[in-house]
Structure 1
Amino acid sequence: MIMYRYNYILFNSYDNKLKIDRNGYYTICAQELETSPSIRVVSYPLDIYPYWIRLLFAIHHSEKIARYIKLPFKKLWYPYYFKNDFEEKKPFCFVILNRFLPIEYLSYLKKMYPDCRIVLLHRDLLRICKRLNPELSQNPILDLEMTYDKGEAQLYGMPYFNEFESSIDILKEKKMESDVFFAGKAKDRLPQLMEAYKVFTKNGLKCNFYLVGVPINEQKELPGVKYASCFMSYKEMLYHTVNTRCVLEVNQGGSNGYTSRFLESVIYGKKLITNNLAIKESKYYFPDKIMIVNKMSDIDPLFVTKGGDFVNYNYEDDFSPFKVISRIEEELSKKYGKY
């Protein structure tokens, strides 16, 4: 068991404001941390309390209500955001992934626990955090701020961390359900996705494309293409990932870090076709396992069918959420000393 200098409280991004969603993306990503006696994962404030209390909290903090009236006394909830039931008495380190925590709450934490550290982790580009919560990013109350994006790390002089995801058990069928799997918002990627679809199907490959947010007038009935208004659960998406021969990723650009599709491919042993050039820097990049293309017409369909249904990346738990906690310890030690 790893020994940490701090007791960690991780305020995770939430999949659902009223219940812990065990099939949700953020819950699954942090799942491994729940085994550590030095770490508490808070899926959303007050997540350990009965439903009716959580409901009252959600109503009191409703963004819709706030448009018409600013409800008072929200600070009365602060002592109940998490439960301090650590066996070992150590300083607290609050790790913030939830971009919507109010600055006033962080001030409360500093007042209640003067020797605590507050760390903000960016799993998205900084401009998005600044848009959603302008007060949070680069606020002096933060003891450390880290980003998953190497480009932004250099631009802002900010420490970098690898994206993380817990490895969980997913059912593997005896027969692959598809040759290529893609799931995500279409946005401005639709032409690229359709171009990739043509390359695959023209060469006899079976696609499983789950496209979210495609306008009705742009939806074409095609075998293996499903249009939806919302995402499937993350656990269901992992099921389709494990039971395909190859994962397709089409980045929109603007980021320079490892993505969930890359992590999933490495963790679960799947081939990957992507336009994410940053992957070339990874020790897990092998041309026979990952194909990087500039445009979809560059795809070699034979890449999908070569070899077996699973590939071995010799994965060494580099994307475990425990690695992020170790990075935080490392950076805090650099900044404030070991003891």
Structure 2
Amino acid sequence: MDKSKLIIFGDNWDVYLTAYKDLIDDPRITYIPSFRPKGLLGQLQRLQYNPKVNHIVSLPYKHLWTPYYLRHEKGEKYCFLIMEHWLRYESGLRLLPYLRKTYPKGKIVCFIQDLIETVKDQYTGKQIDVKYIKHYTDLLISFDEADAIKHEACYHPTVFSQQAKVNQSTKYDLYFLGRDKGRLKMLLAIAQEAKIRNISCKFVMLEVPQKDRIEFEGIVYSDKDVSYQENLAMAAESRCIIELLQQKASSPTFRTWEAIAQNRKLMTNNQNIKASPFYDKNYISVFHDELDLDWTFIKNRNIYTESNPYQERISPIRLVEFMEEKLGIKIDHT
């Protein structure tokens, strides 16, 4: 069976660049991180695609940019993997009908790695049109099991590439990074109890207004974003990562993958993770609130001394194999 070339319409968000690194580095796969060309062309497109301008007057010919992204491709057998970043601009870009018409033998897959109701069209302000997407795609995938059922899509979790082996020594016991979103109160209570128990914390809170900040040992406030590589470095220096879900997500998140990839333990309020094939009580502890934490779990020695056995199962190669199985094709990759 002839193999299809995989072209990924991805994202230049540093989280995705880390998660998909195994595919990005594969010379047989093309990863397009952004629809924005470099240089003068990019500035011209920025104006034409500007949502604020297009809310006033819809600028024509935005779809004429689409062939630009595939200008170097001369084959016929392709599999296109499109992420939600591109779908946010689809009503102007019109990538899906272009691919279907230009590459009739190709396969089109959309992988939405956010709750669908939160993915908004940049021009209409409305939720992306799932019916429209299904019309042009061979496979629609959601990262969330409940969302997949709701929208009659296939489910596959997000992925995470193999990370460089980290030093097993730690600087602190508990690590959290994120915006407040109502979580500061719980984190403060955890930090207070942790101090009593001689457990060290590093809770990095982003963009918390000065008037809302509560100073306490182990809580750090940052007025600027922390790069994903900085986040991974701090996670690697911790014994245990804390995850506090705020949305209605029902499936494992990147915090789970970070714990697996960095061979760290995870404490999460995601009750649904117990039904996940990635759940293992040896490295995941589930709690309801700050009164429900298993403090012994934090201090106990990590049973996985070298690497977490689930690392291979979250590889982006598993996503490629899933697409091959669902589409009945073979994809060219190393």
Question: Which of residues 87, 92, 114 is equivalent to 2:78?
Answer: 92
Residue 291 of structure 1, CA deviation: 1.0
Corresponding residue number in structure 1 for 2:114: 124
Corresponding residue number in structure 2 for 1:52: 40
Query: One-letter code of the match for 1:183?
Result: L
Corresponding residue number in structure 1 for 2:237: 243
Q: Is the 8 A contact 1:184 1:231 kept in 2?
A: no
Corresponding residue number in structure 2 for 1:80: 68
Q: Which runs of 5+ in 2 are unaligned?
A: 330-334
Counterpart Cα distance in 2 of 1:300 and 1:30: 33
Corresponding residue number in structure 2 for 1:216: 210
Counterpart Cα distance in 2 of 1:221 and 1:310: 35
Question: Are residues 1:43 and 2:37 paired?
Answer: no
Residue 327 of structure 1, CA deviation: 1.1
Question: Are residues 1:71 and 2:59 paired?
Answer: yes
Query: What's the secondary structure of 2:314's corresponding residue?
Result: coil
Supply the RMSD in Å over aligned alpha carbons.
2.6
Question: Are residues 1:134 and 2:124 paired?
Answer: no
**What does the per-residue CA deviation read over 1:10-46, in whole Å, with 9 as the maximum and x for residues that have no partner?**
111332xxxxxxxx11111111102334421110025
Corresponding residue number in structure 1 for 2:11: 13
Query: Which runs of 4 or more aligned residues in structure 1 lie more than 6 Å from their structure 2 counterparts after TM superposition?
Result: none
Query: Please, which moves more after superposition, 283-292 or 145-154?
Result: 283-292
Residue 244 of structure 1, CA deviation: 0.6
Counterpart Cα distance in 1 of 2:219 and 2:154: 40
Query: What's the secondary structure of 1:120's corresponding residue?
Result: strand
Q: Is the 8 A contact 1:164 1:319 kept in 2?
A: yes
**What does the per-residue CA deviation read over 1:287-331, in whole Å, with 9 as the maximum and x for residues that have no partner?**
232111122211132322221597443234111112112112212
Counterpart Cα distance in 1 of 2:64 and 2:147: 37
Query: Please, which moves more after superposition, 77-86 or 228-237?
Result: 77-86
Residue 107 of structure 1, CA deviation: 1.4
TM-score, normalised on structure 1? Answer: 0.84
Q: Is the 8 A contact 1:244 1:309 kept in 2?
A: no
Counterpart Cα distance in 2 of 1:121 and 1:167: 20
Matches within 5 A, 1:21-32: 24-32=14-22
Return closer, same or farther for 1:75/1:283 CA change in 2, 3 Å cut-off.
closer
Report how many aligned residue pairs link the two structures: 319
